[in-house]
Amino acid sequence: MIIKPRTIPPDIFHLEILKHRLNLHHPAAPEVEETLSTKKAGWSGEQSLDYHLDYLKDTHYILHNLRLYDGHHFFQIDTVILFPSFILILEAKNMIGQISIHREKKEMRRDMEGFQDPVEQAERQKRLLEEWLWRQLRIRMHIDFLVVFTNRRCTLEFDSSDPRIYEKVIRASSLVDAMKKKKDNYQGKAFKKKELLRIGQALVGSHRDHVPDYMKRFNLSYSDLLKGVRCPSCGKYAMRRTKMKWVCPGCSRHSFLAHEQALREYAVLVAKTISNKEARDFLKVGSRHVVYRLLSAYCKGRSGSTKKAKFLLE
């Protein structure tokens, strides 16, 4: 049973917005595109596990994309599966090429690229989750993990004297069998279904989403963003406001609510509040009366006097 579904990470949504609001020739555009591609690849790899997880039949609770506070910092886990006798962490890796994992050096390499050792990463997640369960719920429970490589276009090699590495790092095609072996290894104390659900609900309740400030990360300012309302049909900027609707000069399509997406993008990239003057600049509309009507209909509320009012964006 899934009690925290897998949803599109908000940082992918935010990067998509930023990508559309940057000129193709902007110096930061390639880095934004690369970051977005990496995030999407990771998301795709995690999604591919769902096919294998569908084969789980016994009592279990699945939680995807958990982000918990350990008392000092936040830590993230791709997938947590609560079984009656233990908890299983799945760390998904969607990579292609020849992957070498060096346990003694605590690193992973692909060609000339270096990455964090995924086993070390999963071991840290295990330790932090153990501490979280004790601190928050006064529960001690066996926790194990699997590092799962989801892309068939990769080859794995291990530079390790520890034979258990083959039980810790697997391909997605081996996931069902690997989970069965893990379950067979833990036959001790079993939590009842009600207790498991309570643990799962506590984890869900403590989850906190996080989206990095990509404007700051890529050293961007408001002046770097493309202004105007993007056409929902052809994707081009900028639609013209004529009477009660928006018209695209490129494809001639019209829309009554295209400005709402532009305001959502402003809230993501710039600020959660907007003045009439700022909205006129961002939407590229000259009339303050038109913009006032648009903001009044869309926004959740406002603060300040009429002339200096700030509208609250969703």
44 pLDDT band (50/70/90 cuts)?
very high
The alpha-helical segments, DSSP class H, found in 8-158 are: 10-20, 29-48, 50-53, 118-137
Q: Given this model, what pLDDT does residue 63 score?
A: 97
Q: What is the pLDDT at residue 308?
A: 79
Ramachandran angles phi, psi of 19, nearest 5°: -60, -45
Q: What is the pLDDT of residue 103?
A: 83
Average pLDDT over every residue of 143-150: 96
Per-residue pLDDT tens over the stretch 206-230? 999 988 899 999 999 999 999 999 9
Residue 243's pLDDT is: 86
Amino acid, res. 26: H
Q: How far apart are CA 9 and CA 209, in angstroms?
A: 9
> Residue written as tokens 């110096």?
27
At 181, the pLDDT band (50, 70, 90 cuts) reads very high
Alpha helices, DSSP H, located in the chain: 10-20, 29-48, 50-53, 118-137, 165-168, 175-185, 193-206, 214-217, 258-269, 276-283, 288-298
Q: Give residue-wise pLDDT tens across range 118-131.
A: 999 999 999 999 99
Share of residues in the chain with pLDDT > 70 (%): 100
**For residue 87, what pLDDT is reported?**
97
pLDDT tens per residue, range 91-121: 999 999 999 998 888 889 888 788 889 999 9
In whole angstroms, give the CA distance from residue 244 to residue 286: 14
pLDDT band at 236 (very low <50, low <70, confident <90, very high): very high
Q: How far is CA 111 from CA 40, 100, 101, 108, 148, in A?
A: 21, 9, 12, 10, 20
Calculate what percentage of the chain has a pLDDT beyond 90. Answer: 81
Q: How much is the pLDDT for 161?
A: 73
Looking from the CA of 134 toward its CB, the CA atoms found within 13 Å total: 10
pLDDT range class, residue 314, cuts 50, 70, 90? confident
Predicted local confidence at residue 305, as pLDDT: 72
Q: What is the mean pLDDT of residues 222-251?
A: 94
Residue 275 scores a pLDDT above 80: yes
Name the band, by pLDDT with cuts 50, 70 and 90, for residue 168: very high
Greater confidence, 57 or 161? 57
Determine the pLDDT at residue 62. Answer: 97
pLDDT at 165: 85
Is the distance from CB of 108 to CB of 116 less than 8 angstroms?
yes
Mean pLDDT over the full length of the chain: 93
Domains with residue ranges and CATH for the chain: 2-206 (no CATH), 227-312 (1.10.10)
Both tokens of 136, joined, read 């928050």
